[in-house]
Chain A
Amino acid sequence: MIAYIEKVLAMLEVEVRRIMHDRTELYTRAVQPILWIGVFAPVMEKFRVVPIPNITYMEFITPGVLVQSITFVSIFYGLNVIWERDLGVLNKLLVAPVSRSALVIGKALSAGVRGIFQSLIIVLLAEILGVRIVINPIYLLLAALLIVVFCAAFAALSIFIASLLKTRERFMGIGQAITMPLFFASNAIYPINLMPNWLKAVATINPLSYAVEGLRALMITGDLTTVPLDFLVSFVFVAVTIVIASQTFKKIIE
């Protein structure tokens, strides 16, 4: 068990070292969220099209945009695994005495590590743009945990998809095709109660909504009523995706 954890940690360490060597991707990936928060939100606010009590629209969409951004980061991990297969890196991992599930968990949590770094940049820039984040260490730690869990779940989902598609070409379009519909069919940029009923139903079973709701509570409103449910849904989501991805993982090299 200790050996298992050490091997997962070794994979996370590699991810941190990668980020330390080259941070360009973190910065370029911050551009789009900043456009949402800095340009889209103020314009929408001016027209007052989305009525939200107590907080500004900019504050409202910050967690939503953050979740969209880390979804993109995580959905890339399946592609990353295919890429590593083509390079032979994956083959070498599979020949090492490491269980398949440790490899999947290692990859999934690596996405969580990157998600945390990405979130730090976005939150910092949002704060500069005028978003007031709740400064409570416990809330922020919980928010970080939720981000890691959510990223891990999406990365595992993406590894599962990669094990079905198997080639980079087929995978390429999938990132957008999954994340954009999930983003718009969630509470990321408008409250669920404004949605038509059919969309409301989709948003309710959309795991992205729960991540957004949890982060919004922990970072913006400080009202924790929904947080237990948000965590429950996210933990179930990650458990299911990791179990499935561990089953299908080795199909990628066959």
Chain B
Amino acid sequence: MSNNVISVRNLVKVYDKVTRALDGVSLDVEEGEIFGLLGPNGAGKTTLVRILTTQIPPTSGEAFILGKSIIEEAERVRELIGYVPQEISVMTDLTGYENMLFYSKLYGVPSSERKRRIENALSLVGLLDKANIVVKNYSGGMMRRLEIAQAIINYPKVLFLDEPTIGLDPSGRKAIWSYLSQLMEEHEMTIFMTTHYMDEADMVTDRLAIINLGKIVAVGTSSELKRSTKLESITIISKFHKEEVKNLLNSLPFVKQIYDGKEEGSVTAYVENAEEAVIEIISTLKENNVDVESLSMNKPTLDDVFLAYAGTKLEETTSALEARKVRRTMQRMR
């Protein structure tokens, strides 16, 4: 408990008496780390962030930010945190500087310090030269950076980022990451971020939790999680009848699960040890006269981790919902 910046105990949130958005979530976030919450849309990520940032009360359970209860001491908690919501929430009809000025006043930054802090924050995210431009003329990535600048105006101890890179192109996402790491160097902060991008969770976070259907299914560093799946896979591409290949693979005792691969005629088999399995698979296929075009071994990715712990693929559950959300965000950026 001592150096836990965020501690969450058995948090439950039920919407409209039926939807269990959070189903008994417990986790601890340590000081100075970037903690990621990875999961598909609808998993409960945003609900958890909204409860931790005191926007909505939990149905049951409790959570503490630096020892302060998010229920009983919400006012104190608000002074300690910064928050970037999922939506592009800057005021587009004002300039970047005016946006910053408003939040500096709302957070009670003393008037003598305002100008300096605003300029520091804006230069940190590379927007100082765009400060006097009305925000509707910013790009999506610039708006996101402005929001991050806003969220650090009160020098928060904990920064909550809800899908900070949604709707951005790869270069925009990389820019956000590099600004965030710079931010971590200049301010002593803990970051709690949600994402459904695997590469982001993999590269940016120190530790991450995987959430699915309102439950935390795994917590650890990305490499710990990958190792813990004990799942390595072998992908076979063959012109042979696919169902037969699957049946043959299924008959092998060490094959755990079988899925259709992305390419035409490809099948992926999850095994515990790929190096050992590959020999047996090849000989079994040969015995049955299956002509193998290519074969590859794969080490687990976070997607595999997700599959192992949540029982579904992250990408499949995400795509349709994400498309809608991205479209909404893009409309806003225009």
Contact = CB atoms under 8 A, between A and B. Distances in A.
Contact of A95 (B54, B86, B90, B98): B54
A18 interface: yes
Given A91-B55, A97-B107, A86 B87 contact: yes
A48 B36 CA distance: 74
A17 interface: yes
A92 B83 contact: yes
B87 A95 contact: no
Interface residues of B, number: 29
A21 to B, nearest CB: 6
Nearest to B79: A97
**How many of chain A's residues touch chain B, expressed as a range?**
20 to 34
A89 B89 contact: yes
A93 interface: yes
A21 B83 contact: no
A22 interface: yes
Interface in B82-121: 83, 85-91, 93-94, 98, 102-103, 105-108
B78 A17 contact: no
B91 A91 contact: no
A175 B240 CA distance: 67
B332 A87 contact: yes
Contacts of A96: 78, 103, 106-107
B53 interface: yes
A92 B82 CA distance: 9
A3 B85 contact: no
Given A91-B50, A95-B78, 16 more contacts: A6-B105, A9-B105, A11-B102, A17-B94, A18-B91, A88-B86, A88-B87, A88-B88, A88-B89, A89-B90, A91-B55, A91-B89, A93-B106, A96-B106, A97-B107, A253-B50
Interface of B: 50, 53-56, 75, 78-79, 81, 83, 85-91, 93-94, 98, 102-103, 105-108, 134, 150, 332
